[in-house]
Structure 1
Amino acid sequence: MEGMKKERRILVTFDIDGTLIRSTGPNSNQLHRQAFSYAFNQVFGIDGGTIDVIQHHGSTDPAILVNTVVHYGISSEVAVEKLPALKSKMVEYAKATTGDIGKGLEVLPGVESLLQALSSKNNVFIGLVTGNLEEIAWMKMEGLGIKRDFTVPNIGGFGSDHTDRGQLVRIAAERAEKLFPGGFDLRVHVGDTPNDIKAAEFGGAVAVGVCTGFFTKEELEQASSGNAIILQDLSDCGKFLNLLGI
């Protein structure tokens, strides 16, 4: 009865920016960046506000919203109080300009092949764990033509859920378990920042780091408790599948 052997159930979640896709050219991540600026202006009247005034790589959209408006002189208490309005305005802008979602973005090498290979496995469930707000996250995936390879119904943990990335890894697992009961034999989270590594380990997943963002192999390794797997990129599909034991 070897053929009846139960397949290991695997949940793989991916960060987006710097992991699956990258910003390019003069219109780098245009829609997302402009959505922030629109929210700053609509809620606080901050004209010409930009997230570039703070260090935001590896952060979540809510944390970026709060930290940026604090930089512009808003108290942290008021910033947090107005966070729902800020998030709502970001989504409002993104939905109104959805045709621009792919501007200044491109899918990183190997990502499409890897997602297709993973999605062909009945025992692998694919989701997102990202600091992006949920609506904007899936709009990016759709606009760049890779949403089709994620498990349906879509699963993940998003900046709209929590400011802490570690909590997002847990939230994604809980949602996946509710939608696809039966438990997971392996959970993996893939990201390009030290915060992704820490979040994966905090959330009970195997951390896989990729050096396709702003951080080096050494910086990603230093963020780990010692068990993270660091890859140069996601271009070697076979290597990634071997890592999962597939």
Structure 2
Amino acid sequence: MNKSKYLILFDVDYTLVKGSKIHKESIVEGIKKIFGVDPPIEKLKLHGMTDQQIVTDLLKICGVDKKIIESKMKECLTAIAQLYNINKSTDKVTLMEGVRFLLEEISKDNDFIPGLVTGNIESIAYGKLSLVGISQYFSIGGFGSDHIERHKLVEIAVERAKAKLGIDRFKTFVVGDTPKDINAAKKAGVYSIGIASGSFSREELEKYGADLILESLLDKDKLIEFIKSK
């Protein structure tokens, strides 16, 4: 196992990109199509939730039985992904500050392996990244289509990296903008880097015990220095 490698698992929404309206619309329309109910998505705080958790919580609000939710979840996720990919050309996704510079920098260093840990369904995550021209940097990840629990996505991404590249679990870093990213990293036993560029402040992220907190990914030198110190 090559212990000089660093697996850096990025969240997508409000860490790498922002502004996806089509994703939310696709969730609503996918639920309508598969379950025949109109979900009140405005009632949920979506930050850091996996798509499976969003679908589950919305259907519970609508009074749908748990067994029915579970039996149709895969079909619903497929419908949501299809709806997003049909309409993604109209999505107004933009890069968060510093992302392109950071990815360009770490892609030059063979010690760094960029990956994804996101609540997004896999094809939606890559769809968003393709819209802003950064999907080529990522070939490993854990996605909302893999599991309902976010910390399980970290574990899945780590196992995929180990299988593909031989990455040491304890040289893994989760980079995200919500307490759920930090908690997922902790539960999975890896380092967490909080980015205070989304809906949560530095002070809020500090409460959850992130190993490092940055104002944005423009602080790429601090991020790289921290990672290489481990």
TM bucket by the smaller chain?
A: over 0.9
- Structure 1 residues 73 and 132 mapped into 2: Cα distance closer, same or farther (>3 Å)? same
Q: 83, 107, 116: which one pairs with 1:119?
A: 107
Which is greater in Rg?
A: 1
Report the Cα distance in structure 2 between the residues aligned to 1:182 and 1:174, rounded to whole angstroms: 9
| Runs of 4+ more than 4 Å apart | none
Q: Alpha-carbon deviations, 1:159-191, whole Å to 9, x = none?
A: 111111111111101000111126366111101
Report the Cα distance in structure 2 between the residues aligned to 1:72 and 1:183, rounded to whole angstroms: 43
Question: Which residue number corresponds to residue 190 of structure 1?
Answer: 175
1:203 aligns with 2:193: no
Question: Which residue number corresponds to residue 141 of structure 2?
Answer: 156
1:74 aligns with 2:74: no
Q: 158, 163, 168: which one pairs with 2:153?
A: 168
1:16 aligns with 2:12: yes
- Structure 1 residues 55 and 182 mapped into 2: Cα distance closer, same or farther (>3 Å)? closer
Query: Any conservation in 1 of the 2:119–2:143 contact (CA below 8 Å)?
Result: yes
Question: Which residue number corresponds to residue 53 of structure 1?
Answer: 43
Q: Alpha-carbon deviations, 1:184-243, whole Å to 9, x = none?
A: 66111101111100101111211000111111222212222xx52111111122121111
Report the number of matched residues: 228
Letter in 2 for 1:241: I
Please state how far the C-alpha of 1:85 moved relative to its aligned partner: 1.4
Query: Any conservation in 1 of the 2:6–2:167 contact (CA below 8 Å)?
Result: no
Question: Which residue number corresponds to residue 32 of structure 2?
Answer: 41
Alignment of 1:59-138 (within 5 A): 59-100=49-90, 103-138=91-126
Report the Cα distance in structure 2 between the residues aligned to 1:202 and 1:184, rounded to whole angstroms: 13
Query: Any conservation in 2 of the 1:33–1:50 contact (CA below 8 Å)?
Result: no
Please state how far the C-alpha of 1:75 moved relative to its aligned partner: 2.4
1:140 aligns with 2:128: yes
Structure 1 length-normalised TM: 0.87
Question: Which residue number corresponds to residue 234 of structure 1?
Answer: 217
1:177 aligns with 2:162: yes
- What are the ranges of 5 or more consecutive residues in structure 2 without an aligned counterpart? none
Percent of residue pairs identical: 33
Query: Any conservation in 2 of the 1:197–1:207 contact (CA below 8 Å)?
Result: yes
User: Structure 1 or 2: larger helix share?
Assistant: 2
Query: Any conservation in 1 of the 2:174–2:193 contact (CA below 8 Å)?
Result: yes
Please state how far the C-alpha of 1:118 moved relative to its aligned partner: 0.8
Structure 2 length-normalised TM: 0.92
Q: Alpha-carbon deviations, 1:22-59, whole Å to 9, x = none?
A: 22xxxxx1221121012111112224x45222222111
Report the Cα distance in structure 1 between the residues aligned to 2:57 and 2:170, rounded to whole angstroms: 38
**Helix, strand or coil for the counterpart of 1:33?**
helix
Report the Cα distance in structure 2 between the residues aligned to 1:147 and 1:132, rounded to whole angstroms: 14
- What are the ranges of 5 or more consecutive residues in structure 1 without an aligned counterpart? 1-5, 24-28
Please state how far the C-alpha of 1:105 moved relative to its aligned partner: 2.0
